[in-house]
Amino acid sequence: MSARKRVARTYPPLRGRIERIERELPLTLGVISDTHLHARDAGRLPTEILELYARFQVDLIVHAGDIVDQAVIDRLESVAPVIAVHGNNEPLELWKSLPERIILTAGRWTIGIVHGHGGPSARKMVLTAFPVPVDFAIYGHSHIPMIEEVDGVRSFNPGSPTDRRWAPHFGIGIVEIDERGIRPELILFDTPAALRTIDPLPESGASE
């Protein structure tokens, strides 16, 4: 009996709405993804996350999708304006209101934001998700906190603050952007109480 030939699966290109946003430097982002909280559960978004973003004086909060309810965005907006992309678990009304991708321009830097579903993996999807070259990409979907660089582009997945799945820790992120570079920081935790001990450094490093 002859072996069956395996056929590589192909994935259609992303075709959803792209939102383009411009911000001035310096810029501090609070990054979060995959909260998966319905309206009745929005209070489960740890207050310690909001307090940490306030201590870091974030200018903007980026949600990389799978929000599940507008109430989560409303809670985050009590700290700073929120920009968000839809994931693959949003209810229809929220899905329609959010873009599939965001291209954020800050000074000379271009940051791409996408959830990461619809491809062989979120890590691979983010490499081809944007119609223009980006310096830095933010994504979610896998619930695996990660910073890596492929072909000169750094990508950043904050993990999930509420559903760690296969990851050993919950996660959120901070990204500092200025003329010197883009400096992402993963903040991993086992319990939200641990976030109370994390404060911004007096002066961040300046590596690109």
One digit per residue, the tens of pLDDT, for the chain of length 208 reads 455 555 555 566 788 999 999 999 999 999 999 999 998 888 889 999 999 999 999 999 999 999 999 999 999 999 999 999 999 999 999 999 999 999 999 999 999 999 988 776 788 888 889 999 999 999 999 999 999 998 888 999 999 999 998 889 999 999 999 999 999 999 999 999 999 999 998 764 444 4
pLDDT of residue 208: 45
Fold of 18-193: Purple Acid Phosphatase; chain A, domain 2 (3.60.21)
pLDDT of residue 152: 83
Two structure tokens written together for 85: 């992309």
Provide the residue type at 159 as one letter: G
By the 8 A CB rule, do 30 and 58 touch?
yes
Domain coordinates in residue numbering, the chain: 18-193
pLDDT of residue 45: 95
| pTM score | 0.90
Residues 6+ apart with CB under 8 A from 122: 115, 116, 139, 140, 141, 142, 157
Torsion sign across C-alpha atoms 156, 137, 196, 47: negative
Instruction: Give the Cα separation of 62 and 76 in Å (integer).
Output: 10
Two structure tokens written together for 53: 């973003």
By the 8 A CB rule, do 208 and 63 touch?
no
| H helices present in the chain, as ranges | 47-55, 70-76, 92-97, 122-125
